[in-house]
Structure 1
Amino acid sequence: MRTVLFVDDEQPIRNALERMYLERDDLRCLFAASGQEGLEIMEKEEVWVVVSDYLMPGMRGIEFLSKVKARWPHTIRIMMTAYADLSIAIDAINKSEAFRFVTKPWNNQELMEIVDEALMRYQLVQTLGAEDETVYLSLAQTVELKDPYTKGHCDRVARYAVALGKAVGFTEQQLEEIKHGSWLHDCGKIGVPERVLNFPGRLNEDDMESVMQHPRWGSEVARQAHMSEQVVNVILYHHERFDGAGYPSGLKGDEIPIEARIVAIADVFDALYSDRPYRKAYSLERAIEIMQEMTATHFDPELIKTFLPLAEQEACSHE
């Protein structure tokens, strides 16, 4: 059961949090009045997310969260404080690797969204840590359920990317990493609201920023789950552009790991050749033309030369 532990020495705060979550039957909320009590609960329960106050008698919040980090490293840690002090935030991040920093009085909706994101992160780390490729594909399909227009997208991207990897001489092990990275390249979209993913027009600045965080969010989770460097690279860098104008890091040319350059090509090709909320799929001929036009800015020119004939073969063989 998805479980959240709130630790705060003030009874009115614990009561307010309990009231806030009264209607939520999809998770279990536990409460502790001190860091020591929180640790005792965690010895008995599988806690997914812990939200701790900073200023408590006895064990301070940072000390408590640091102990949680040492003993239950996968539990997601959130610091809450009435003192919006930069030094406290830095301490929380450096000493306990806090996932988020929330100030009191909190906004109920914002706090719920932060806790929900933390719960998703915990679940995703556990899933990726299973090291089972059937689980990876199942996760990719779960992401696709949030956006019906991308049904089958991750599997098709994997097919195109593996074909290109073979053509440039990747080993069997590298092809496995390409396949897993392709399946998981959009796993960070689990943290993006469905209303944003399915919006039929141009997104506003805040929503676009939310979408642009998905590579970083997904790669952090993959690292925490101890996935290979190649898989992490695909998740983190598949939206980088060859001219350096991509995101999230603005890498350019060969600075972008080759596995990410390969998956970026496969990802864009499938996006063009599939229906999207804002347009119908392009024909194969037009999709290839657009890929050629984008080569100067988006793609590795040598990889594109190899990919386009393969794309035509792959697309035709699966029609």
Structure 2
Amino acid sequence: MTETQPARQTVVYVDDEELARKYFARAAGSDYEVLLAGGADEAESILRREGARVAILVTDFRMPGRHGDDLLRQVSQEFPHIVRILVTAYADNNALPGAIHSGEVFRILEKPLGVGTVREVLASATAASVLRPK
């Protein structure tokens, strides 16, 4: 007799810092399938391939090239079923309120991320993703 495990939600984590990506994957990896991207363009490529099964997008705000708020706007339009979370080390940045409104951000997390915070926010985002139409 085998127990059936519930399917793990798929999360895309976007950050230009390799250590931040590794840390996030370690913090969330046992409960979620984590796909990692080093920037907005790489995340876009992942979403083109895997977007239908992605439940949550977590992206850093400041990255070389396209910033996280640009990615959030795009994902909001093209993949409205994905719950969007913004990560930043610059919580007082004037651009953040615009990102919240235009990208329909579910939550903003401040760096450094704690394991408990990551797990708590992902659990809340998972619950919210169940309510979104696909």
Same fold, judged at TM 0.5 (above): yes
- Among 44, 48, 58, which residue is 1:43 paired with? 48
Instruction: Give the corresponding residue for 1:31.
Output: 36
Q: CA deviation at 1:86?
A: 5.1
Q: What number of residue pairs does the alignment pair up? A: 125
Q: Structure 2: how far apart are the matches of 1:86 and 1:12?
A: 23
- Scaled by the length of structure 2, the TM-score of the pair is 0.86
- The code of the aligned residue for 2:124 comes to E
Deviation string, structure 1 residues 42-98 (Cα, Å, up to 9, x no partner): 111121000000001111000011110010011100000111115233122112011
* Runs of 5+ unmatched residues, structure 1: 130-319
Write the mapping of 1:110-259 to structure 2, written as runs, cut at 5 A: 110-126=117-133
* Runs of 5+ unmatched residues, structure 2: 1-6
The alignment partner of 2:86 has SS state of strand
Instruction: Give the corresponding residue for 1:169.
Output: none
- Scaled by the length of structure 1, the TM-score of the pair is 0.38
Q: Structure 2: how far apart are the matches of 1:59 and 1:124?
A: 29
Give 1 or 2: higher strand fraction: 2
Kindly indicate whether the alpha-carbon contact (under 8 Å) linking 2:59 and 2:85 is maintained by their aligned counterparts in 1.
yes
- The code of the aligned residue for 1:78 comes to I
Deviation string, structure 1 residues 198-237 (Cα, Å, up to 9, x no partner): xxxxxxxxxxxxxxxxxxxxxxxxxxxxxxxxxxxxxxxx
- The code of the aligned residue for 2:46 comes to I
User: What is the CA RMSD across the aligned residues, in angstroms?
Assistant: 1.5
Q: CA deviation at 1:30?
A: 0.6
- Rg larger for: 1
- Among 7, 24, 27, which residue is 1:17 paired with? 24
- The code of the aligned residue for 1:5 comes to V
Does residue 109 of structure 1 match 2:106? Answer: no
Instruction: Give the corresponding residue for 2:76.
Output: 69
Q: Per chain length, whose mean CA-contact separation is higher, i.e. which structure has more relative contact order (CA < 8 Å, sep 6+)?
A: 2
